[in-house]
Every structure is written in C-alpha cells, then in structure tokens.
Structure 1
Amino acid sequence: MPYITTADGTEIFYKDWGTGQPIIFSHGWPLSGDAWDVEMKLAADNGFRAIAHDRRGHGRSTPTWHGNDMDTYAADLDELVRALDLEDIILVGHSTGGGEVVRFAARHGVGRVVKVATVGAVPPVMVKSDSNPDGTPIEVFDGIRAGVLADRSQFFQDLSAPFFGTNRPGSTISQGQRDQFWRLGMQAGFTSVYDCVKAFSETDFTEDLKALDVPIFIAQGDDDQIVPIADAALKSIDLVKNGTLKVYPGAPHGIAGPYQQELDLDLLEFWKS
C-alpha cells in the first residue's frame, strides 16, 4: 500500500486514483480518506487525479502520540504534496479536513494550490471565547473528550445520528452509513482521536482564510448539528477574497444521501470551472 514517511517518522497512507490535474481530499474527524471514496471516483471518472490521505493517527496512518495538531497536519500534507511532486492542485476538505486544507493552502500551498473547496468546515474557529462570543462553549468539546474516554465505541454510534441528521424527521440515511462512520472512527488511534478535538475546535483559521487569494467554494448544510453554520461558513465567506458560498437547506454535517448527490454536482462544476 502507498505510504510516505514524514520527517518525524510518521507513515501517512494515501490513495491515488486516476490521472490529470490533482485533487486532494482531506477527511473529517474521526474518519479516514475512505470517507471520500464516492467523490474520488467522481473526480477520477472525470479526468482528474484523486488523492486522499489518512491524517496521522487516523485510518491506516501511524497512530502517533505527538503531532496531533493542525500545524502538523498541514505540514504532513505538505510532505505528501512534495513527495508526489504535485502542482496545479485543487483541495477539498470536510469538517476538520476543511481546516487542514485552509491552513495548508495559506502556509504551504502558495504557487501550488489553484482552488479550495470546504464542506461543513471548522474555520474560522469553533470554540467560544471573548473574541468569538457566539462560538460553541468549551464544555461541548469537553463532553466529546469525556465520551471518547468513557466508551468510544458507543459514543461514535450515538454521534452518527446528529452527524448524518438521522434524528430529524424524514431522514433517508441508512444504518449502513452510520455503521461506516463507526467503523472508520474505530480505526483511528485513541490518542489521536482525543487530541484532535482540541485541534478542530480551538485552532483559529482567521488569518489563513484572509491569506487565500485563490477561488474557494464554501459549502455547508443549514441543519449541520456538528459545526454550526452561523459560526462557520457564514463567517468564513466574509473573510476570503474570492469565495462562493452555497448553503444546502436541511442538509446535515455528514455527506450522504440527497445532500451528497447535490453537493457532488456542485463540486464537479467547481473543479471544471
């Protein structure tokens, strides 16, 4: 299986499908690159080279004790890009992965990245503070950490409901989708899962968003129960220079069902534009 080894000895697994202009897909917490399989096939079928990595501590990558922070995630992605000698890159990131690609693009991707798409992404910053008074209280993230520590398996099973919106009337998301969320989450390293909560909730991406000068497509469902849209996409669009916002009425955080079908058409149009 394809891996690169980073400067600190971490093995990063990646999938590489198709040929053409590269699109790098970055997954959300606590998943892996497999969460993007449908979109990777869509990209490869339409003449792009689709690449998805497992973030350190997730999926098939090394379950690291150190480096479970956004700066290191972006640096790992930079090492992957350099190892594969990629240019003219399109980035796509969901949730935590949206933060990763924004930080990578701002700090490592100048001259290499030509477009960015984020979906239900964590920027600008999730946690409530004096400078972000309408953010999510730290107690919510403490609760996530407590759930991981107490019974990670059951916590992930329970979390899959608000993640995909199956707790809403009329949801058509299958139990299989929820089971896949649980399965991918249980593949991740325990410490990495725990530490990544701080990374996705407390990292401030404001300056990264301001620094981007390439086109960015910002997508989010307005019934996202995991990353509240009012403190995410609706703020991010005001910070970027060349952004397009698409809000999907009634759509959840997880990419599945009718939301996925509509989103994928929009992503394909953005990639080809």
Structure 2
Amino acid sequence: MLGIGAAAVGAAALPLASRAQRAAAHDRSGTIRTKDGVELFVKDWGQGRPLILTHAWPLSSDCWEQPALAIAEAGYRVISYDRRGFGRSSQPSTGYDYNTFADDLATVIQATGARDATLAGFSMGGGEIVRYLSRHGSKGIAKVALVAAVVPGLARNRNNPQGVDPAFFDGLKDSLRKDRATFLAGLLREVFYDVQTSARSTNPVSQAVLDWSLQMAMQASLRALIGSVDAFGKEDFVPDLAAVTVPTLILHGSADKPVPFELTARRAAAGIRQARLVEYGGTSHGLLVTERARVTQDLLDWLAA
C-alpha cells in the first residue's frame, strides 16, 4: 500500500524549505491494490491541493512527467498512476473496460486520501474521469480538465452519426496482433504526434521523444493494448455527461487526427454544464509534448482559479 500519512508530518518539519525542496521531500511512489487484486503503480509528488492525472493509450503516467513536475513545484500535490495493464502496473487478463477503469480511479483516490481534488485526463484518460463521476459521483472533486480527451466518443452511433466507422478499431487490433512494435512506432510518429504538423509547434517532436514514447507503449501488455481499443474507440459517454457537474476545462488541438476536435471537444463542451473550451489551433494529439508549456500554464491557471 502506498504510504500517505508522512505528508502532513513532513510538511510541518520543513517550514523554511524552498517550494522545490518541499515537493522533493514528499515525492513517493509505490503500488496500491484494487478490489480484484491488481497492483496499480502510483506516483505521488509534492503537497497542497491534489491534481490526479490519467494517461493516454498506449502510454503510461510518464507521459505527464514534465507538466507534473512543474505543477508539483508550483505548490500542488500531483498524483499519477499507470492504468492496469500499462506501464509498471499489473497485467491482468481482464478489466479493460471503462467501468473497471473508473473503479480503479476510485481506488487511487481512496488510497491516497485525496480531497478537493482536480482530475485531469489525457486522451483515453478523459474517459476514466467522466465514467468515474457517473459511477461514483463528484464528492471530493473540485474540478476536471479534459486534455485531447476521447469524451464523449469516437465511434459512429446514434449519438454520434458523424463518428468513426467502428470497423476501424477492429483494424487497429489486427495491426497490434500482427506487429505491435512497427504499428505503434508509426502510430506515434504519423498520428499521435503528427511529426509534420508538430514541426511547427512550440516544442517539435524529436526522434528521442518518439523513442521514449515507443518505450512507454511497449511496456503495456499486448492483451491490455488490444483489450482497451474497444473502450477508447467505441464507448459512448453521452449518457455520462450529465454527471459532470463540476467546472470542466477542455484543452484540445484543432488538428488532432486520432481524436478529432469536432467529434470530441466540441461535443463535450456542448454537453457539460460548466465547460470551458480552449482550442489549440493547428495542434495535433500529442500536445503534452508539442505544447507542453502552454498546457502546463493552462492547468496551473485552472487550479488557481
């Protein structure tokens, strides 16, 4: 079980320490166990009002590392974790659906004792947050941020008649089965980061970043990668939007290829009662890298508002 209680003691013991020293003193990581026995790897940095981060497919919580560090050093407690089957978490054979993911998030919130928390979800991670609010309510949750999130859904259905053909996602699973390394390398370069578009960004994507991202993706089990495709691709969150009753910031690139702006951000802003939509013009999906400074500042402003 992740140690939590030392935070209050340490805070009292370091009244004269710098902000960075206080954040470093409370950095900790470890695992927590879900009700079905899965070990989730959790990083818990800094102190102050908590921000809980959920990550994109096919990555891990490491995709948040640089914004997370900056936000922790700004005086907040930043909690991030690897989704089941991804990163350093356990790799079970089942549970790759949003109800289970939302229950895992509930376990993280309970185990860390986070109160008055802001939840921020990147890409697939936005689905965890919206489904969490639908299944568990908003008690103890102050705000939400959806960053290039799949909410309220990608696949074509009666709520999303302009959506993606569901067969497309079956093709993704076939590609993973055939040669996941080659498929994921191309996906990250051409679609996730859209290197050609990102060359014009404030922080162009280097080969080193692509290699790092592929390393993250390859940490996930093949079962988790395949099992999660139907979740992020075919889930319909329209019925969940009414449960998002807290102020919600939506950050999304207008040139996002895998999670198109009009299918997701625009519809989410229309369906969430207290939504504020910020469009990143000409930005593709990997904005945690390509627009890192802007995303970090937008989140800091949102936390402080």
Shorter-chain TM-score bucket reads: over 0.9
Conserved in 1, the CA contact under 8 Å of 2:71 and 2:296?
no
1:95 is matched by which residue type in structure 2? S
Does 1:184 find its partner at 2:212?
no
How do residues 238-257 of structure 1 correspond to structure 2 at under 5 angstroms?
238-257=270-289
Does 1:89 find its partner at 2:117?
yes
* 1:125 to partner: Cα distance: 1.3
SS in 1 for 2:287: coil
The answer for the alignment partner of 1:12 in structure 2 is: 40
2:294 is matched by which residue type in structure 1? E
* 1:106 to partner: Cα distance: 2.9
The answer for the alignment partner of 2:197 in structure 1 is: 168
Does 1:269 find its partner at 2:301?
yes
The answer for the alignment partner of 1:124 in structure 2 is: 152
Of structures 1 and 2, the larger Rg is shown by 2
How do residues 5-84 of structure 1 correspond to structure 2 at under 5 angstroms?
5-84=33-112
The answer for the alignment partner of 1:222 in structure 2 is: 254
2:194 is matched by which residue type in structure 1? G
Does 1:235 find its partner at 2:263?
no
SS in 2 for 1:90: strand
What is the CA–CA distance in structure 2 between the aligned matches of 1:115 and 1:91, rounded to whole Å?
Answer: 6
- The alpha-carbon distance between structure 1 residues 148 and 259, as it changes in their structure 2 partners (threshold 3 A), is same
* 1:102 to partner: Cα distance: 1.4
Identity between Structure 1 and Structure 2 (%): 36
Conserved in 2, the CA contact under 8 Å of 1:156 and 1:181?
no
- 1:33-86 deviations in whole A, cap 9, x for unaligned? 111001111211111100001000000111111111000000011011111222
What is the CA–CA distance in structure 2 between the aligned matches of 1:26 and 1:147, rounded to whole Å?
Answer: 25
Conserved in 2, the CA contact under 8 Å of 1:164 and 1:256?
no
- 1:191-237 deviations in whole A, cap 9, x for unaligned? 01101000111111112222211100011000001101110000000
What is the CA–CA distance in structure 2 between the aligned matches of 1:169 and 1:25, rounded to whole Å?
Answer: 24
Conserved in 1, the CA contact under 8 Å of 2:176 and 2:183?
yes
- The alpha-carbon distance between structure 1 residues 64 and 114, as it changes in their structure 2 partners (threshold 3 A), is same
What is the CA–CA distance in structure 1 between the aligned matches of 2:94 and 2:205, rounded to whole Å?
Answer: 36
1:140 is matched by which residue type in structure 2? F
* 1:256 to partner: Cα distance: 4.3
How do residues 126-205 of structure 1 correspond to structure 2 at under 5 angstroms?
126-161=154-189, 162-168=191-197, 170-171=199-200, 172-205=204-237
Conserved in 1, the CA contact under 8 Å of 2:134 and 2:243?
yes
* 1:167 to partner: Cα distance: 3.2
What is the CA–CA distance in structure 1 between the aligned matches of 2:163 and 2:82, rounded to whole Å?
Answer: 28
| Residue ranges of structure 1 left out of the alignment (5+ in a row) | none
- The alpha-carbon distance between structure 1 residues 170 and 34, as it changes in their structure 2 partners (threshold 3 A), is closer
* 1:258 to partner: Cα distance: 4.7
* 1:129 to partner: Cα distance: 2.1
What is the CA–CA distance in structure 2 between the aligned matches of 1:78 and 1:244, rounded to whole Å?
Answer: 25
What is the CA–CA distance in structure 1 between the aligned matches of 2:290 and 2:120, rounded to whole Å?
Answer: 19
Give the TM-score of the pair, scaled to structure 2: 0.87
- Aligned residue pairs total 273
SS in 2 for 1:23: strand
Conserved in 1, the CA contact under 8 Å of 2:254 and 2:281?
yes
What is the CA–CA distance in structure 2 between the aligned matches of 1:258 and 1:200, rounded to whole Å?
Answer: 22
SS in 2 for 1:204: coil
* 1:149 to partner: Cα distance: 0.6
- The alpha-carbon distance between structure 1 residues 120 and 141, as it changes in their structure 2 partners (threshold 3 A), is same
Alpha carbon RMSD of aligned pairs, Å? 1.3
